[in-house]
Structure 1
Amino acid sequence: MLARRDPHGLWPLFAAFALSGGLSFYALALARANHSPVALWLANGVLIGWLVQKPLAQTWPVLVAAFLGFLVAKLSLGDSIAQTMLIGPFHTLETVIVSESIRRRFPQITQDTRFIDLARTGMIGALIGSVLCALGLMCILHLWTQVGVLMALNTQFRAHFVGMVIAGSASLVLTHHLRRVLSGKAWALVRDLGVLVAVTAGVCMEPRVPLVFLVYLPLLWVVYRHRFTGMVFGMVIIALGVSLATTLDVGPFNLVVGATPAFRIVMGQVFIGVTCFVALPVALVLSEQDRMRKQMQESELRYRMLADHSGDLVMRIRPNGDRMYVSPSVKELLGWEVEDFQKPRPDLIHPDDRERIAAEVVKLRMEGGTTNATYRLRHKDGHYLWIEAFARLVPSPDDDGTMDIIYTGRDVTERVLIEHALMESQGQLRTVTDNIPAVIARIDMNERYTYVNRYVEQVSGEIPVEIIGKTVREIRGNALYERLKPYLYRAYDGESVMFEYAAEYRGRPLHFQCHYVPDRDTRGKVRGVYALTTEITHIKNAERELLRLAHQDMLTGLANRRYFSERVPNFLMQAQQGNAIILLALVDIDNFKAINDTYGHAVGDVVLTEVGQCLQKLVREGEIVARLGGDEFVVLCNDITSLKQAKAFVQSLWERLHITIDAGVAQVTVNMSVGAAICRNELSDDALMKLADDALYKAKEAGRDTYRFLTHGLGNGGGDDGGNHGSPEIKLRQAR
């Protein structure tokens, strides 16, 4: 079934079976032929290259195939199946620990993988796996063959650890770098490994002189020429040669007198381990250098490709100012050839920018790091371009201990011109806003001022810089803020709001008209509020003055007919609601025409003024005194409780209006005629005036200098002197 579904998947299984079984048979048979411990256990490490490529759930068939190979090897040597079934899982555990530690740390092993990190991870995994495997084998061998605990642990750990390092490394190289091994330098690798094989065979077969150190020269040569690949294959050759020589009792390790096979195995393992740890750092360092050099070359290639084809000007500048590299974009950017820019060209910098740029270069040379500058460079045609330059001080790639400047510049002329135009426009706008007779401000969503024009100084004496960043509450105070807050929140909700308010600044009560306009972004979302505040104190004063003029008699200072006409309906309504008595008295100066004709209009005006002041003194607060025109005045009261009180008030008013006025040119005696209307319940203002006018007519008909009453709606309960209901009562009294 497996062959039908994946015929190519059988080859790894056959390979795992053959390698595991063959290497297990080789190690066990060699050790038993010499009655010595196993010198090098390679069977577990040869599977690492396959196992690190996929998760354990997909590679378990390879482990099963390897276990079957190990089982066949053990059984062919006459070992019991029970012992083999107990030992096999520990070999598998060692392989799984090493492969999973590498695969989890490096899911994919590529040419860019750091060999130092890979070797570190593999060594730690090999150490842990070899210790656990050796512990398990120690227990089984001690119980099964009565081998000493420490001896079993020592021999098994050394054989497995050294074998895992060598075989695991070789497996990784073959599975991940086979194409690289077989390409280009394959024959050189075979040739150099052939020399190493010859030297290893020679020193291992020499029984008289210990020359094993001679393998270091060809091994290091192979490592230097072929890096990590050469180290792995070289260690395999040396490990196989040394383990074979020590097991067969040949070579320099037999020169030790009285050495047992186990001791010779130990010496061989120590030599293999020392050789591995001598070659491994060299191989890793060289491989890492190759990787970094390759990355640097690729980086330089990419950078040069980007620099050569970039629209920006890129240069590498030496301490003396020479440009070791100038990108071809200088032609398109400034019109100069690359050769024109190889030498320092400070003359191309605008005269106004030279000192500043020179200072920036000196600062960069002294302090290092990076710097930015925007300045003007002259085009070959003669005009100047604005260049935004970025410069960094870096160690020179020439390895002479100096520091070069990497310079990148781009044309930002259009942007700078736009910025200058924008700054000019902003300056003009600020000049306009600062001189507009209104406070212009912007408030963000946190109720903080982000802009205030200078006119605020004339209004409140506050400095704009001190306002920026503070909240409306902090600037306007709690009381005023509470009045402004509802309008501010309406503007935050997107409504344009206009309102008026009063505040006191510098001890002066001021009136303002404020317009809140929402500030919206491009998506229409409110991001703040613009506030336009205009002082309208003079307008309010003018309005009050106009209102005063509209409602006041210019000569006497009393209310005029218009004001009186506007107030009468309210008086009547209040009286009706309270069922109160209302009194309206018309006052007319007797023979006023004669006063004008005799003394002149100036004296007449004095008389009118004095009479108006006298009337104003006679009434209480809330009562109305008005000049209707000419010599006619009116008094309106709604705080009357009875008819008796109303009559007493009219009598007192008439008596006190008998005055003598000093007009300068003459003493003028003034007499008055008064007609009063006293009523209760509903009565229109016209009817009330008509009633008072009729009473005044009766007073004049009676000979002037007297007063008369007419009542309405009082009945018998209207007061002490009530008349007949429905018929006006006429009270006559002669003037004294």
Structure 2
Amino acid sequence: MLARRAPYQLWLLLAAFALYGGLSFYALALARANQSPVALWLANGALIGWLVQKPLVRTWPLLITAFLGSLVARSCLGDPLLPALLIGPCNALETVIVSEAIRRRFPQLSSRTRFMNLARVGVVSAFIGSTLCALSMMSILHLWSHPDVLVSLNTLFRAHFVGMVIAGSTSLVMVTPSLRRIEPGRTWILVRDLLLMTAITVGVFGESRVPMAFLIYPPLLLLVFRHRFLGMVIGMAILALVISLATTLNIGPFNLWPGVTPAFRVVMAQVFIGVSCFVALPIALALSDQDRLRNRIHESELRYRMLADHSGDLVMRIRANGDRMYVSPSVKELLGWEVEDFQRPRPDLIHPDDRERITAEVMKLRALGGTTTVTYRLQHKDGHYLWIEAFARLVPSPENAGSMDIIYTGRNVTERVRIEQALVESQAQLRTITDNMPAVIARIDLSWHYTYVNRFVEQVSGRTPAQIIGKSVCQVHGNAVYDRLKHYLERAFAGESLLFEYEAMHCDKLSHFQAHYVPDRDAEGKVRGVYELTTEITHIKNVERELLRLAHQDSLTGLANRRYFNERITGILQQARQRDVPVLLALVDIDNFKTINDTYGHATGDIVLAEVGCCLQRLVREGEVVARIGGDEFVVLSDNIGNSKQAMAFTQSLWERLHMTVDAGGAQVSVKMSVGAVLCKDEITGDPVMKMADEALYMAKDAGRDTYRFVVHGMEGGHDNNSQERKIRRA
């Protein structure tokens, strides 16, 4: 019931108390009985197996419990309390040094641990810990003043060092499952060999007349060779216990020297145990490492065979003559062939177009060694071909020294090849499309260099894509155009899509281009370049200008039309108001134009209109607007008139110069005009100005035509409905 209720840690502490106290009592009792120094101190090493499993901060209760066990053992033997209290920390120091050194270097012990390195760390740390412990105990026991101080120090050091090696190795074996594991069916063999070892050791050290100590080595080495590390540590434990007991009982081959003292027998026992340990330990470590490596090789082979047998890839080992020493069962699933069908060379299964290339690759591999990867077509048993990606490596043959085999791994990549071929075809189609599009398609990387340009660039710039790819934007376009494009490129690299127009000189003429910049982003959305689509729009601009001209120009007279006039008048009025200057608007109407059309025909009427338009174009000054706004009605708009006097003179001059005679196919047509003009200021729209000019024109017509009327509005010295009028007739 207690065992069920007590936690595991409590039982562990009780075990440490009993083990450490029992081993301490055994060593001290034997020394007291023989009145000799302690021959072998096993207690410190017995704790190593527990302490290496966890950090010191979690295992200190074990040290304290072990210290209490040693204190109880010494009290039972009658040792003074103060030396017993002081010796405990010395033993703890030795144990901590060894356990921490092993734990820090090997956090986890397993079958993969390199035991030679483990033994090296353990022996070095045991040497250091035993030395420090022996020096400390010499001071506590006041042995520095002893006549044989060196012998005492040597004896203490050997007792702790050999005991640490033997007990420490044993405890490590006990806590490492892979080291203490016994193969099935070999348990009784181990028991038999241990009994043999025990019997021979007891027989050798129970005989004091004949030196037969060497006889213990055959059974000890037998244990090592048969049972590796487990046999070594148990055999050494048996050897140490029997020798220490025989030395205490004053029997054994160490008594063959006459007059030998108990202390000297202890020294000889320690030396013999130490030599036996250091004979068996390296052999056990080497054999254990050999087993570890052999097991790892075996595991590796099993894993490789399992992977090869169950992999979907085809795995083969091929000799120099082409024979296949191994073919994985996947050949059935991959190619439909049985393994037996594929054991012999089958070059006939390689596609005829690939055979020469594959032969060359194999010859190259055998000549140069190393590895090679090749993709080719291999025939399925059903007759169709599969694309196989083969990886081959040249390796030494395990059977024939000096011969090289090929390790071949092939996988079905038919689908991938089809996708790649479709991709290549798609890329070719895309390149054909881009090369024949009437626009320059390009890509610019983060260093502002061109990485792709389609062939249409030849028609635009006269340079091939090869002459542009790799060059910077500045190198391709020149500094002037680069300065215009730089701002847009910076915005595009910042992640903005842009559509803009720019001008550039091309073939000694000014050309217009429209560019569209689109950021090129990676899978994470980060800009890694810019796509550029540039179209030459010079002809579009020319058409736009022509359309604008046609939209704003009268086709018969070449003057501006009413639409253009209406677009300009508001702007001119607003500018004049800002400049605080007046504006003159004059309406010109051909007198009796209907009679001319009826008398001479519409062709003559068109000639008259054209002549009037040419005359007006000659009369107006730069900046003035002249337009045909109706059938026979024209308008002149000027903001270069300073006052009413100048306006009157301009209007009179305009009226006088518009009188003309037009040749109409032999008949002379006399053309006369009526003019209505207004000089106004601070008007912002054209409707009131046009209304006032129209009223002035009606006044001129009411006055009998062939005259002009001039009105001043909104200016000092002028008033509404009052005008200065003058009628001038030609002689």
Question: Paired residue for 2:415?
Answer: 414
Question: Paired residue for 1:155?
Answer: 155
Distance 2:208 2:120 in 1: 37
Shift in Å at residue 184 of structure 1? 2.4
SS at match of 2:392: strand
Distance 2:195 2:539 in 1: 111
Is the 1:592–1:604 contact (alpha carbons within 8 Å) kept by the matching residues of 2? no
Distance 1:48 1:218 in 2: 27
Shift in Å at residue 400 of structure 1? 3.5
Shift in Å at residue 428 of structure 1? 1.2
Is the 1:98–1:125 contact (alpha carbons within 8 Å) kept by the matching residues of 2? yes
Question: Paired residue for 2:310?
Answer: 309
Q: Which moved more, 1:373-382 or 1:124-133?
A: 124-133
Deviations 1:441-474 (A, max 9, x none): 5667998766543323333456556766888788
Question: Paired residue for 1:236?
Answer: 237
Shift in Å at residue 381 of structure 1? 1.3
2:39 partner amino acid: A
SS at match of 2:134: helix
Distance 1:482 1:66 in 2: 82
Deviations 1:468-495 (A, max 9, x none): 68887886655323553597489x36xx
- Residue 684 (structure 1) aligned to one of 684, 688, 692: 688
- For normalisation by structure 2, the TM-score amounts to 0.83
SS at match of 1:324: strand
Question: Paired residue for 2:124?
Answer: 124
1:732 partner amino acid: K
Deviations 1:637-693 (A, max 9, x none): 2211112112333444456668899x9999999876462413214563542452453
Shift in Å at residue 394 of structure 1? 4.3
Distance 1:489 1:176, change over 3 A: closer
Identity of aligned residues (%): 62
The alignment status of 1:83 with 2:83, answered yes or no, reads: yes
Distance 1:246 1:664 in 2: 158
Q: Which moved more, 1:54-63 or 1:676-685?
A: 54-63
Question: Paired residue for 2:286?
Answer: 285
Shift in Å at residue 268 of structure 1? 4.1
Is the 1:586–1:676 contact (alpha carbons within 8 Å) kept by the matching residues of 2? yes
Q: Which moved more, 1:420-429 or 1:120-129?
A: 120-129
Distance 1:251 1:672, change over 3 A: same
Question: Paired residue for 2:328?
Answer: 327
Question: Paired residue for 1:619?
Answer: 620
Distance 2:576 2:83 in 1: 126
Distance 1:266 1:143 in 2: 17
Deviations 1:244-290 (A, max 9, x none): 56666665555667765545544443443333233222211211121
Deviations 1:542-579 (A, max 9, x none): 12112212323445543345433543444445445635
Question: Paired residue for 1:272?
Answer: 273
Distance 1:259 1:464 in 2: 104
Shift in Å at residue 731 of structure 1? 1.1
Deviations 1:107-157 (A, max 9, x none): 543334332333233223322321221121121122697466544432211
- For normalisation by structure 1, the TM-score amounts to 0.83
SS at match of 2:711: strand
Please give the residue correspondences for 1:448-597 in structure 2 after superposition, counting only pairs within 5 Å: 452-461=453-462, 463-464=464-465, 478-482=482-486, 484=488, 488=492, 492=495, 498-515=499-516, 531-554=532-555, 556-575=557-576, 578=580, 580-584=582-586, 586=588, 588=590
2:156 partner amino acid: Q
Distance 1:88 1:560, change over 3 A: closer
Distance 1:517 1:625, change over 3 A: same
SS at match of 1:684: helix
Distance 2:596 2:613 in 1: 19
Q: CA RMSD in A?
A: 4.5
Question: Paired residue for 2:434?
Answer: 433
Distance 2:326 2:255 in 1: 65
2:358 partner amino acid: I
Q: Which moved more, 1:230-239 or 1:333-342?
A: 230-239
Distance 1:131 1:2 in 2: 42
Distance 2:463 2:113 in 1: 67
Question: Paired residue for 1:337?
Answer: 338
Distance 2:144 2:91 in 1: 17
Question: Paired residue for 2:299?
Answer: 298
Distance 1:664 1:158, change over 3 A: farther
Q: Which moved more, 1:187-196 or 1:287-296?
A: 187-196
1:433 partner amino acid: T
Is the 1:585–1:650 contact (alpha carbons within 8 Å) kept by the matching residues of 2? no
Is the 2:593–2:605 contact (alpha carbons within 8 Å) kept by the matching residues of 1? no
- In structure 1, the gaps of 5 or more residues are 719-723
Distance 1:267 1:369, change over 3 A: farther
Shift in Å at residue 161 of structure 1? 0.8
SS at match of 1:353: helix
Deviations 1:606-642 (A, max 9, x none): x876765554343222102335678765432221111
SS at match of 1:509: strand
Shift in Å at residue 422 of structure 1? 2.4
Distance 1:28 1:524 in 2: 78
Q: Which moved more, 1:377-386 or 1:639-648?
A: 639-648
Q: Which moved more, 1:230-239 or 1:584-593?
A: 584-593
Deviations 1:199-241 (A, max 9, x none): 5456556667765445444433322211111222233344445
The alignment status of 1:729 with 2:730, answered yes or no, reads: no
Please give the residue correspondences for 1:35-114 in structure 2 after superposition, counting only pairs within 5 Å: 35-54=35-54, 56=56, 59-60=59-60, 62-114=62-114
- Residue 693 (structure 1) aligned to one of 687, 697, 705: 697
Is the 1:569–1:685 contact (alpha carbons within 8 Å) kept by the matching residues of 2? no
Distance 1:198 1:2 in 2: 39
How many residues were matched structurally?
Answer: 722
Distance 2:7 2:576 in 1: 117
Distance 1:457 1:378, change over 3 A: same
Q: Which moved more, 1:438-447 or 1:363-372?
A: 438-447
Is the 1:584–1:692 contact (alpha carbons within 8 Å) kept by the matching residues of 2? no
Distance 1:284 1:461 in 2: 80
Q: Which moved more, 1:647-656 or 1:665-674?
A: 665-674
Shift in Å at residue 435 of structure 1? 0.9
Shift in Å at residue 164 of structure 1? 0.6
Shift in Å at residue 521 of structure 1? 8.2
Is the 2:369–2:394 contact (alpha carbons within 8 Å) kept by the matching residues of 1? yes
Q: Which moved more, 1:546-555 or 1:211-220?
A: 211-220
Distance 1:211 1:696, change over 3 A: farther
Shift in Å at residue 419 of structure 1? 2.1
Distance 1:517 1:715, change over 3 A: closer
Distance 1:216 1:602, change over 3 A: farther
SS at match of 1:641: coil
Shift in Å at residue 538 of structure 1? 1.1
Question: Paired residue for 1:721?
Answer: none
Distance 1:366 1:127, change over 3 A: farther
Distance 1:64 1:537 in 2: 98
Shift in Å at residue 8 of structure 1? 6.7
Distance 1:182 1:634 in 2: 121
Distance 1:467 1:212, change over 3 A: farther
Distance 1:641 1:531 in 2: 54
Distance 1:238 1:715 in 2: 138
Distance 2:668 2:597 in 1: 8
Distance 1:632 1:21, change over 3 A: closer
Is the 1:677–1:711 contact (alpha carbons within 8 Å) kept by the matching residues of 2? yes
Question: Paired residue for 2:711?
Answer: 711
Is the 2:660–2:672 contact (alpha carbons within 8 Å) kept by the matching residues of 1? no
